[in-house]
Chains A and B, each alone.
Chain A
Amino acid sequence: MSRISKVESRLRTEQDAVQDHLYANRLRIYPKSVRGKVRTIKWAILIACLTIYYVLPWVRWYRGPNQPGQAVLLDLSTERFYFFGLELWPQDIWLLAGILIMAAVSLFLVTSLMGRVWCGYTCPQTVWTDLFMWIEREIEGDRNERMTRDAAPLNADTIWKKFLKHGIWLTIAFWTGGAWIMYFVDAPTVTVDFWIGDAATPVYVFTGLFTLTTYGLAGWAREQVCTYMCPWPRFQAAMLDDQSFTVTYQAWRGEPRARGKRVEGAPTAGDCVDCSLCVTVCPTGIDIRDGIQLECINCGLCMDACDHVMERTGQAKGLITWDTLARQAAKKLGKHEPIRFLRPRTLIYVSALTIAVIGLTTALLTRSTLGLSVLRDRAPLFVPLADGSLRNGYTLKIVNKSQTNGAFDLSISGLPDAKLAVAEGDPTPSSTVHVLGSSDEVKTFRLLVTARPAALTDGSQPVDFILRDTATGAQTVYHSVFMGPVGYSGGAH
């Protein structure tokens, strides 16, 4: 018995043994390397994703003096989110919620069209696991070599190679954890601070945390994350139907599987030569020939593997291919079934997505950088004055989300001859007050409004506060009320 078959038979015994137990040992998976169209696409996506992740924090963006110069920055300490030319305040958090909703609906749409392509190609768990497996392969060799090595007693070469592998894994994990932090603090600054010990404690804590999770999840946990931890495989079935494209073994063509050469005119054997190559390349260690299953991340590596076999045995490629359940059922009967991308399910997802995109874009484009909110004093509700007029106090907040200092005119409408005065400022009241609002700031002040409303039948009347940017003419209005004694009419006895 060869080494490899010994390992394989041990795995088999383990697999049988678990059946009677409450707890199962993990079945070790040694994915074999594979080349092909799918693998090339997967490499390209992997490189693109990782490049974006590691490089994005280093992209600079000039916003003006004393402003953060990082293109993408989630600045928690000053409560500002920066995305290139866009600056979001905590008040805009619903935009972020909208983006997340859009992401979720896009995921539903893609899944209903193409199955779990997110899992197979772009999920960080897949991307980093793929990267870590590549490093493992480069150091310890391909499937057979790794299996032999693990079955053999430890020797110097194995120890050195494992040491090297974990070292590189940890380095990448550390780099990953560090890059994560750079989305929250200025990248060049934190890089220097980190090494001279000047960075804030959370920087070290989170870098350490993400180093460990990256190392643990991509190096050790791998497919266990997809199978046992991730909720997505559990409810993906709700998005799939028999018109969704998934990685499919064409059983009608492959079965009955049989080893050996295909002889012309001997119709008993199907196209599958039962070489198990599709199983050995699978990163989750399953057999696609069993049909759609929870563990399959739709990566398509088994397609590449099988295509090689088909080439070698001189049969048509695509025994394992992208297809739908409905088309497979039709093909089995020798019929043709058209591809249906437009179905009620996908149309609902598309329209939800369209609404979300239009809504968000409109909200973003019409988003005002000037805001006014008015809070009426609750005690006293109003102050009668010696001359018979009434005074109401309000607390105003002027929000200036722009990058320029603003000068504003504040006036009131609906209350003839009202006199305004800033409580802590110039005590001479006038019909309009001038307020300065620094860039990127909320200015809060108390405003005293003195007036003689003609009739307060029920003790209050509506008024509008109007804030106008003197430079741009932009205007915002806040509805409030002016109060006094019930039945007040101009303060005459």
Chain B
Amino acid sequence: MPTKIEKDAVSGRDTTGHEWDGIKELDTPLPKWWLYTFYACIGIAFVIFFLYPSIPYGPGYWHGVLGYSQRKMVDAEVAKLTAIRKVSLDKIGSLSFEQIKADPQLLEVAMTDGRITFAENCQPCHGAGGGGHIGYPALAAGSWLWGGTLDDIQQTVTHGIRSGDDDARNSAMPHFGADGLLKPAEIQQVADFVWSNFYGHKTEGQDTSAGAKIFAENCIACHGENGEGNRVVGAPRLNSHIHLYGDARETIVAQVTLPRQGVMPNWNHRLDPATIKAVTLYVHALGGGE
């Protein structure tokens, strides 16, 4: 309770009775228009309550007489954007890759669409930015199993690899160990050869001629004389610094004994052709495109 209310000599007004370090405050009345402004604001608040969704009650809420709904607005916005997108997507679907690349604006739409599609569908296996994982090719590196031109990529994405689709890319490496085509010792020899000659882990004085002979008899049909691979049958390149299942010698042994056969889904049942084209352009631009 302020107790030291006094009359200020200059203005003739009362003070509030509060004092801070000798500074006293005048009890100046608020102008009436200020008060009425407050009342007007309160009044306006009620008008807004009436017009817009406001008071919740039991099972629902007051919707307001204007029928304002942010959800409806979002739906309308989404519909509007979908219509705009459709124009570009139709164009992407009907034009050739060269035509799309010649139109910077359309290319930007395609790349954005491709990026989002990739993140939603491809990233779990191929990694963000196509960095790849063990068993899943690094798309950004350009060490393609089945080819890295735009058309190759489009074909692979559409129909998949060993996916069961009629036009899927299919190939099967023989089970050299499991089916008894090569003896365990022979498998070790061929692994030595591949590991030292193609993977680059040479040991001084090592004799790999036995393995070389086995390789020449069994493997060069698909993997090539110099281990360069063959894209027609999806045979991986062996004379490389990067390998689908890693750099260890044991992976060669395991693969020759009972090969893993990677599967990629055919995306034509899930993505429309235009979207597949967009994601193809994106994958092509990750760094490995040819």
Tell me the bound Cα distance from A203 to B287 in angstroms.
48
Tell me the bound Cα distance from A107 to B259 in angstroms.
81
CB nearest to A290 among chain B residues: B10
Give chain B residues whose Cβ lies under 8 Å from the Cβ of A388.
241
B111 touches A424 (CB 8 A): yes
A19 touches B13 (CB 8 A): yes
A383 touches B241 (CB 8 A): no
Tell me the bound Cα distance from A25 to B35 in angstroms.
11
A446 touches B142 (CB 8 A): no
Give chain A residues whose Cβ lies under 8 Å from the Cβ of B12.
19
Q: Is B57 on the interface with A (CB-CB < 8 A)?
A: no
Tell which of A19, A24, A387, A393 touches B140, judged by Cβ atoms closer than 8 Å.
A393
Tell which of B31, B111, B130 touches A224, judged by Cβ atoms closer than 8 Å.
B31
Give chain B residues whose Cβ lies under 8 Å from the Cβ of A379.
127-129, 131
Shortest beta-carbon distance from B209 to chain A in Å:
21
Tell which of A18, A377, A387, A448 touches B29, judged by Cβ atoms closer than 8 Å.
A18
Shortest beta-carbon distance from B136 to chain A in Å:
12
Q: Mark A121-156, 1 if CB is under 8 A from B, else 0.
A: 000000000000000000000000000000000000
Give chain A residues whose Cβ lies under 8 Å from the Cβ of B200.
493
Shortest beta-carbon distance from A75 to chain B in Å:
22
Give chain A residues whose Cβ lies under 8 Å from the Cβ of B128.
378-380
Give chain A residues whose Cβ lies under 8 Å from the Cβ of B290.
427
A26 touches B240 (CB 8 A): no
CB nearest to B229 among chain A residues: A386
Contacts of A434-493 to chain B: CB distance below 8 A: 446, 448, 491, 493
A22 touches B237 (CB 8 A): no
Q: List 9 A-B contacts (CB under 8 A).
A: A24-B32, A25-B32, A379-B128, A380-B130, A380-B140, A386-B240, A388-B241, A393-B140, A493-B201
Shortest beta-carbon distance from A235 to chain B in Å:
15
Tell me the bound Cα distance from A380 to B133 in angstroms.
11
Contacts of B256-271 to chain A: CB distance below 8 A: none
Q: Is B160 on the interface with A (CB-CB < 8 A)?
A: no
Q: Is B74 on the interface with A (CB-CB < 8 A)?
A: no
Contact residue range for chain B? 35 or more
Shortest beta-carbon distance from B16 to chain A in Å:
12
Q: Is A363 on the interface with B (CB-CB < 8 A)?
A: no
Tell me the bound Cα distance from A140 to B138 in angstroms.
86
Give chain B residues whose Cβ lies under 8 Å from the Cβ of A21.
29
B141 touches A383 (CB 8 A): yes
Tell me the bound Cα distance from A388 to B239 in angstroms.
11
Contacts of A351-396 to chain B: CB distance below 8 A: 377-380, 383-388, 391, 393
Tell me the bound Cα distance from A24 to B27 in angstroms.
12
Give chain A residues whose Cβ lies under 8 Å from the Cβ of B127.
379-380
Tell me if B's interface is mostly helix, strand, loop or mixed. Answer: loop
Tell me if A's interface is mostly helix, strand, loop or mixed. Answer: loop
Q: Is B234 on the interface with A (CB-CB < 8 A)?
A: no
A386 touches B141 (CB 8 A): yes
Give chain B residues whose Cβ lies under 8 Å from the Cβ of A224.
31, 33
Shortest beta-carbon distance from A416 to chain B in Å:
20
Shortest beta-carbon distance from A293 to chain B in Å:
9
CB nearest to B202 among chain A residues: A493
A26 touches B111 (CB 8 A): no
Q: Is A423 on the interface with B (CB-CB < 8 A)?
A: yes
Give chain A residues whose Cβ lies under 8 Å from the Cβ of B242.
384-386
Shortest beta-carbon distance from B91 to chain A in Å:
17
Tell me the bound Cα distance from A237 to B131 in angstroms.
65
A383 touches B30 (CB 8 A): no
B237 touches A386 (CB 8 A): yes
Q: Mark B19-38, 1 if CB is under 8 A from A, else 0.
A: 00000000011111111000
Given A23-B34, A448-B287, A493-B200; 8 other pairs, CB 8 A cutoff: A23-B29, A228-B31, A385-B241, A386-B141, A386-B143, A388-B241, A446-B285, A493-B202
Q: Is B107 on the interface with A (CB-CB < 8 A)?
A: yes
CB nearest to B131 among chain A residues: A380
A424 touches B107 (CB 8 A): yes
Tell me the bound Cα distance from A391 to B129 in angstroms.
12
Q: Mark B209-247, 1 if CB is under 8 A from A, else 0.
A: 000000000000000000000000000010011100000
Give chain B residues whose Cβ lies under 8 Å from the Cβ of A424.
101, 107, 111, 281, 285
Q: Mark A18-34, 1 if CB is under 8 A from B, else 0.
A: 11011111100000000
B33 touches A423 (CB 8 A): no
Tell me the bound Cα distance from A21 to B13 in angstroms.
11
Q: Is B286 on the interface with A (CB-CB < 8 A)?
A: yes
A384 touches B107 (CB 8 A): no
A228 touches B34 (CB 8 A): yes
The 7 tightest CB contacts between A and B, nearest first, are A380-B131, A379-B128, A493-B200, A24-B29, A386-B240, A388-B241, A423-B285
Give chain B residues whose Cβ lies under 8 Å from the Cβ of A385.
141-143, 241-242
CB nearest to B127 among chain A residues: A380
A391 touches B287 (CB 8 A): yes
CB nearest to B128 among chain A residues: A379
Give chain A residues whose Cβ lies under 8 Å from the Cβ of B281.
424
Tell me the bound Cα distance from A448 to B289 in angstroms.
12
Contacts of A1-44 to chain B: CB distance below 8 A: 18-19, 21-26
Give chain A residues whose Cβ lies under 8 Å from the Cβ of B141.
383-386, 391
Give chain A residues whose Cβ lies under 8 Å from the Cβ of B201.
493
Give chain A residues whose Cβ lies under 8 Å from the Cβ of B131.
379-380, 383
Shortest beta-carbon distance from A475 to chain B in Å:
26
CB nearest to B101 among chain A residues: A424
Give chain B residues whose Cβ lies under 8 Å from the Cβ of A491.
241
Tell me the bound Cα distance from A377 to B130 in angstroms.
12
Tell me the bound Cα distance from A26 to B200 in angstroms.
95
A383 touches B31 (CB 8 A): no
